[in-house]
Chains A and B, each alone.
Chain A
Amino acid sequence: GENVEQHPSTLSVQEGDSAVIKCTYSDSASNYFPWYKQELGKRPQLIIDIRSNVGEKKDQRIAVTLNKTAKHFSLHITETQPEDSAVYFCAASTSWGKFQFGAGTQVVVTP
């Protein structure tokens, strides 16, 4: 089955700097890669996703890139703000298959 590794497990950044979280996956059949943000005590919420026929997708300050050959994808947050502090999860799946989540990255944005 699919295996997703996520790095780093914790990430501290100064407000205004960029943050990058990287994930690798094992199943070459995976074609859908969502990212979730989970604030303390809340449910995970989808923030951005990318499909395998696209190399990059951007939504305001967040962007995701996908390298199918290397089987890795990354989340980029620019101009970080305190409200970006949360745990971020990546996931991989086939279109109709089970989602495999990474272990999560705790992002702390310090003023």
Chain B
Amino acid sequence: NAGVTQTPKFQVLKTGQSMTLQCAQDMNHEYMSWYRQDPGMGLRLIHYSVGAGITDQGEVPNGYNVSRSTTEDFPLRLLSAAPSQTSVYFCASRGRSGVYGYTFGSGTRLTVV
């Protein structure tokens, strides 16, 4: 049981490049979310999903796309990277019963130059 696995751990992009941050969970959790964390800003929700085939926007969705074709995977795509997207990105998942709190992945530190 690996929990929530994020790849890569570190990434440097040039402005305008695109990339996909990968997230996978093996806990059969229905809910998955992507957060970005900037100094002094806490955790801000980018996109989330309540199950395969269902996604919705969070508070800072611009510049990001998601899809949820399987229960396990929830990739985050940066369409055209900008310096403002330099941040630490966390993927998290939780189930419908039991502990309602999110389990977080180890994060991806992204720098856009």
- Residues on A facing B (Cβ under 8 Å): 1, 6, 9, 32, 34, 36, 42-46, 49, 89, 93, 95-96, 98-104
Contacts and interface: CB of A to CB of B under 8 A. Distances in A.
Nearest to B90: A43
The B contact surface, by secondary structure, is loop
Interface string B25-40: 0000001010100001
Nearest to A45: B104
A21 to B, nearest CB: 13
B67 to A, nearest CB: 18
Contacts of A89: 42-43
A103 B41 contact: yes
Nearest to B44: A101
B105 interface: yes
A43 B101 contact: no
Nearest to A90: B42
